[in-house]
């Protein structure tokens, strides 16, 4: 998927769900956010499915309308209540956006892609299976060698005390 397909799919997913102003603000935002050329593929990969982003925008707009603080800019995961499109009017918008969204940077799992989370889950399951197998081996060893050895030692101790 290239940048134009992404923007087209985002526009199509948003149309009829939110106002035209919100659609245009978000299209402008992602048009500026996604670079042109070869770097676009990695950014598009990080962003994910535009339909999921549209769903987030739609739900954020619904919540904003319910709270009565609808400002025309969606206040979801990618933008805040500030209108970050007007960087000509406000030169400090980028710094303010980074300060507002820096709280999630301390959480390790929020930065991972779903593929990485899947690999971690599979690795955890494999580790758990190895631990279970090791515990079975240890228990089997204890029953076959450990307990008889302990019984022999106890019997020897009992016979020593009788002499």
Give yes or no for a contact between 7 and 31, defined as CB atoms under 8 angstroms apart.
Answer: yes
Q: Note the pLDDT of residue 130.
A: 95
Distance CA 97, CA 45 (A): 22
Against a cut of 0.75, is the pTM above it? Answer: no
Report the candidate in 63, 1, 71, 7 with the shortest Cα–Cα distance to residue 33: 7
Our CA dihedral for 102, 36, 8, 67, rounded to 10 degrees, sits at 20
Q: Note the pLDDT of residue 119.
A: 92
Q: Note the pLDDT of residue 99.
A: 61
pLDDT tens-digit series, residues 27-51: 999 999 988 888 888 888 888 899 9
**Token code pair at residue 103:** 């709280």
Q: Is the pLDDT of residue 129 over 90?
A: yes
Give yes or no for a contact between 53 and 6, defined as CB atoms under 8 angstroms apart.
Answer: no
pLDDT tens-digit series, residues 62-115: 888 888 754 544 444 444 333 444 445 566 666 665 665 555 444 555 667 888
Q: Is the pLDDT of residue 59 over 80?
A: yes
Q: Note the pLDDT of residue 57.
A: 92
Q: Note the pLDDT of residue 127.
A: 96
- Mapping DSSP to helix (H, G, I), strand (E, B) and coil, where does residue 89 land? coil
Mean residue pLDDT across the chain: 79
């Amino acid at each position: 998927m290239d940048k134009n397909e992404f923007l087209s799919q985002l526009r199509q997913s948003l149309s009829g769900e939110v106002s035209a102003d919100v659609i245009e603000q978000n299209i402008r935002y992602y048009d500026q956010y996604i670079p042109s050329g070869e770097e676009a593929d990695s950014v598009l990969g990080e962003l994910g499915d535009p339909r999921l982003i549209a769903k987030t925008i739609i739900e954020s707009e619904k919540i904003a309308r319910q709270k009565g603080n609808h400002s025309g800019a969606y206040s979801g995961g990618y933008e805040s209540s500030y209108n970050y499109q007007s960087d000509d009017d406000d030169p400090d918008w980028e710094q303010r956006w980074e300060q507002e969204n820096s709280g999630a940077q301390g959480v390790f799992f929020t930065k991972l892609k779903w593929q990485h989370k899947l690999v971690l889950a599979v690795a955890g399951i494999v580790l758990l299976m190895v631990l279970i197998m090791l515990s079975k081996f240890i228990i089997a060893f204890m029953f076959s060698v450990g307990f008889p050895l302990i019984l022999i030692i106890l019997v020897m101790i009992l016979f020593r005390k009788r002499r």
